[in-house]
Amino acid sequence: MSENVHWSDVIAEDVLKRGNKHVVATGITPSGSIHIGNMREVAVANAVCRALRDHGADARLIYIADTYDPLRKLYPFLPEGYVEHIGKPLSEIPDPDGCCPSYAEHFLRPFLNSLERLGIKIEVYRADDLYKSGMYTDTIKTALENRDKIAKILSEVAGTSISSSWSPFNPLCEQCGRIKDVIVKGHVGNSVDYECICGHRGVADVSKGGGKLTWRVDWPARWKILDITVEPFGKDHAVAGGSYDTGVRISKDIYGHEPPYPIPFEHIFLKGRGKMSSSTGTLVSIQEMLDILPPEVLMHLFLRINPEKHIEFDPGLPLLNLIDEYDRIHGWQISFRHMVTIVQTAQDFDQILEVLRRSGYGVSDLDAIRQSSVNAKNWLSKFAPPSVKFKVQETLPVGVRKLSQKQKFALGILADEIGSKKTAEELHNEIYEIAEKAGIDSSDVFKAIYVAILGKSSGPRAGWFLLSLDGNFIKERLRDASKS
């Protein structure tokens, strides 16, 4: 693939061989906080949909929230009382915080708000609405009538052993409200007779949300109902005998529908903790990232790497590199790394502007500067490693007493240079020349600077750091240190 051709264009060109009208789908179960690992799926779908439109296709982007999936276990973030809701559809469980109509909406709404902030325009479907409105009725009845054929497909393709009591449809028990561990006893038309593990016997109406299809049947049924033609999904679904393989057979043999063009993608791994997961709490939420990154930088994270390759996400120092990379590409002059330094030295926004002026930056775009400073503060409080954090010491640190005479001599020379008009880069390079004059290694001069100001042996890039501080303060501090 040419370096100038984006992976989404390559996929779009292949998809267009199937025709010019497409529905690109994506979907996630809102069982917990929807994290940036989930967002990769939506970002991939959005990129492919835009590429299809750029190539002249009639393309729609849709999102299906699997709100009718059952709560599978008591997740670490839930109170003990939620044990009684295990097995119930997410849309029918109360919000843990009482702020939304349901458990599903509690986690779905922030995600949809994030999509708006990211500029992703998408048609949203909720699975419970699809089932309750009757959109699944025909596909459920078809699945029930073809129970044995579907069981054979699952056995042949997935190697699954199917029990005699298995059904492609899971009724919703009207007594306990659970949608699992409910056994189908028979069906006629829209009515399904069932017996629940709670002991209740009843009749479910498939046209009114009286249950849902099992996942491996629900997915191809959804392709049929919404006429989905393109869909990205995690590579775990793409393994031989996985849910995509069984979905292809069910879609063709049971529903007579051509399965969508598959786009398997690798997952995002949180550095040192493994694959992101809402259920285990191994995640960085989209909201957290949007408190640190401009939306366009977060999209850059997803789109710069082919979906076939995994992303190792480290919200610490590597995130600074990602932001700086984006800023260089798009010409934003004030590096995020420098802003991280400034917000630790400036007392308020006026001081931030003053530091930027001293460093030679333009300050006309106040909104962008203010947002960047807020992002930098959020990153420092949530993800910054200790090595990046610092505090300017109010008095001369005791550590200066251990500096060598040559180090103190170098600090004295630097004190004289601070007052002259120099850019941050010029001042930084001047430190190397001072080291030669003092007859010591430059690393010893940098260490002396940090010890004198921060009380520790390392810190941010010296030239930019020094110009972020008041000139008179620095001059006096370096002179005091040189005489200590």
Q: What is the pLDDT of residues 380-422, one digit of tens each?
A: 999 999 989 999 999 999 999 999 999 999 999 999 888 776 7
DSSP structure class, residue 83: G
**Residues in a beta bridge with 269:** 275, 312
Quick one: three-class SS letters along 393-437? CCCCCHHHHHCCHHHHHHHHHHHHHHCCCCCHHHHHHHHHHHHHH
Structure tokens at 410: 């170098």
> Sheet holding 191-196: strands in order across?
182-188, 191-196, 201-205
- The topology under which CATH files domain 398-483 is Arc Repressor Mutant, subunit A (1.10.10)
Query: What average pLDDT score do residues 444-448 get?
Result: 97
State the pLDDT at residue 372. Answer: 93
CB atoms within 10 A of CB 319: 22
pLDDT band at 280 (very low <50, low <70, confident <90, very high): low
- d(C-alpha 425, C-alpha 302), whole Å: 32
State the pLDDT at residue 279. Answer: 66
Of residues 306 and 269, more confidence is placed in 306
- d(C-alpha 273, C-alpha 22), whole Å: 37
User: Taking 70 as the threshold, does the pLDDT of residue 1 lie above it?
Assistant: no
Question: Mind listing the pLDDT tens digit for each residue in 121-166?
Answer: 999 999 999 999 999 999 999 999 999 999 999 999 999 899 999 9
The rounded percent of the chain whose pLDDT value lies above 70 is 98
Question: Mind listing the pLDDT tens digit for each residue in 160-192?
Answer: 899 999 999 999 999 999 998 899 999 999 999
Of residues 90 and 28, more confidence is placed in 90
User: Taking 80 as the threshold, does the pLDDT of residue 276 lie above it?
Assistant: no
User: Taking 90 as the threshold, does the pLDDT of residue 91 lie above it?
Assistant: yes
Domain ranges for the chain: 1-133+266-314, 169-213, 398-483
* 193, containing H or E segment: strand 191-196
132: amino acid identity, one letter = K
State the pLDDT at residue 36. Answer: 86
User: Torsion angle, CA of 469/473/474/475, rounded to 10 degrees?
Assistant: 140
- d(C-alpha 279, C-alpha 412), whole Å: 57
What's the mean per-residue pLDDT of the chain?
A: 93
Query: What average pLDDT score do residues 37-50 get?
Result: 94
User: Taking 90 as the threshold, does the pLDDT of residue 19 lie above it?
Assistant: yes
Residue pair 20/57 in contact by the 8 Å Cβ criterion: yes
Buried residues in 362-384 as b, exposed as e (16+ CB within 10 A): eeeeeeebeebbebbbbbeeebb
- d(C-alpha 120, C-alpha 40), whole Å: 12
Angle at 121 between CA 67 and CA 366, to 5 degrees: 120
Residues 6+ apart with CB under 8 A from 95: 101, 102, 103, 105, 106
User: Taking 60 as the threshold, does the pLDDT of residue 339 lie above it?
Assistant: yes
In three-state secondary structure terms, 89 is: strand
State the pLDDT at residue 5. Answer: 87
The CB-based long-range contact list for 75-83 (8 Å cut-off, 24+ gap) reads: 75/31, 75/32, 75/278, 75/279, 75/281, 76/279, 76/280, 76/281, 77/32, 77/33, 77/281
State the pLDDT at residue 212. Answer: 98
Query: What average pLDDT score do residues 417-432 get?
Result: 85
Question: What CATH number belongs to 1-133+266-314?
Answer: 3.40.50.620
Paired sense of beta strands 182-188 and 191-196, if any: antiparallel
CB atoms within 10 A of CB 458: 13
